[in-house]
Amino acid sequence: MTFSKLILATLCVAAPAVFAQSPGNSNGCSSLPNYAQLKDALSTAVTAETSGLDLQMWATIVDRDGVVCAVAFSGDDRGSQWPGSRVISAQKANTANAFSLNGLALSTANLYSAVQPGGSLFGLQESNPVATDVAYKGPSANYGKANDPMVGSKIGGVNVFGGGLALYNASRKVIGAVGVSGDTSCADHRIGWRVRANLNLDNLLTVGGVADGAHPDNMIFDITPNAAGGTGVSAGGFGHPHCLDVAKDGNPSSLPAVK
């Protein structure tokens, strides 16, 4: 066998092992919380937050490339929370990751007004369709478990109401995002905020956002409803409507400040 043929034969043997690696085990996911850590952080956050309807929740983490790393739920089984919220939580994670940068954090809540007709980002919600073959892949018995069928694949999708937040490591770099769904969108955001804090991935103190410095990608309630004599339009262009009422949705500053 010639030297060139030997090299070719070696590459052909080695190649399958390289390409067989699961994206879910890539470096992007290895730097993020695992299933058990996500589930624990979610359960703790759901117990702590009472601003919504007190429902059980889904949560998804994606890495910087949009690969799903973990999916979890807080209830007793996959039917204890809205089944449709599993994919919504993944969409929210994908969105927060896709539109946040090291120097600019944007939660899905910040996008609500911007994507309305006449808004600065109108049409964004149609830009990255969800991968339905990933979202609804089976077996459904594994939904919300460590081997959820979404894990290791890119989910895509854009969601433009509360519940998705970018994750920032100790170096203040965005390394992915978490999405939470299963209650009102305001409660989703607040629970997601607590999940991020529980995971110690809320290192945004010097990262810019459209909200205040201590909560740079928090919800902004600057929409005066038409029924209250307002225009129904966000004053700053990044507002989110209240979900139940002002008291129930909670004061944004009542959430933990970023680190």
DSSP 51-114: SS-----EEEEEETT-BEEEEEESSSSTTSS-TTHHHHHHHHHHHHHHT-BTTB---GGGGTTT
6: in domain: no
Please tell me the predicted confidence (pLDDT) of residue 27.
Answer: 67
124-143 mean pLDDT: 96
Between CA 190 and CA 226 the distance in angstroms is 25
Residue range 72-87: mean pLDDT, rounded: 98
- The count of structural domains within the chain is 1
Q: Tell me the average pLDDT across 51-70.
A: 98
The answer as to whether 12 is a domain residue is: no
Other Cβ atoms less than 10 A from the Cβ of 156: the count is 20
Return the pLDDT at 17.
Answer: 29
Q: Note whether 162 and 26 are within 8 A (CB).
A: no
Q: How confident is the model at residue 228 (pLDDT cuts 50, 70, 90)?
A: low
Closest CA to 191 of 73, 36, 63: 73
- How far apart, in Å, do the first and last CA atoms of the chain sit? 61
**pLDDT given for residue 232 in this prediction:** 85
* pLDDT given for residue 20 in this prediction: 31
Examine residue 155 and state whether it is found in any structural domain, yes or no: yes
Per the domain annotation, does 184 fall within a domain?
yes
Contacts of 232 (CB under 8 A, 6+ apart): 223, 224, 225, 226
> Are the C-beta atoms of residues 95 and 158 closer than 8 Å to each other?
yes
Task: Tell me if 250 is assigned to some domain.
Answer: no
- Mean pLDDT over residues 218-241, rounded? 87
Confidence class of residue 213 from pLDDT cuts 50, 70 and 90?
confident
> Residue 188: is its pLDDT beyond 90?
yes
Tell me if 10 is assigned to some domain: no
% of the chain exceeding 70 in pLDDT: 88
- Exposure letters 240-259 (e unless 16+ CB within 10 A, then b): bbebeeeeebbebeebeebe
162 and 188 Cβ atoms separated by less than 8 Å: yes
Does the residue 256 lie in any domain? no
Task: Answer yes or no: is 56 within a domain.
Answer: yes
Q: What pLDDT score does 240 carry?
A: 96
Please compute the mean of the pLDDT values over residues 126-132 and round it to a whole number: 95
Which residue range forms the structural domain that includes residue 223?
A: 18-244
- Contact predicate 156/66, CB 8 Å: yes
CATH at 198: 3.30.450.150
Dist. CA 78–CA 81, nearest whole Å: 7
pLDDT at 1 over 80: no
The total number of residues shown for the chain amounts to: 259
pLDDT tens across 236-256, in order? 999 999 999 888 898 877 899
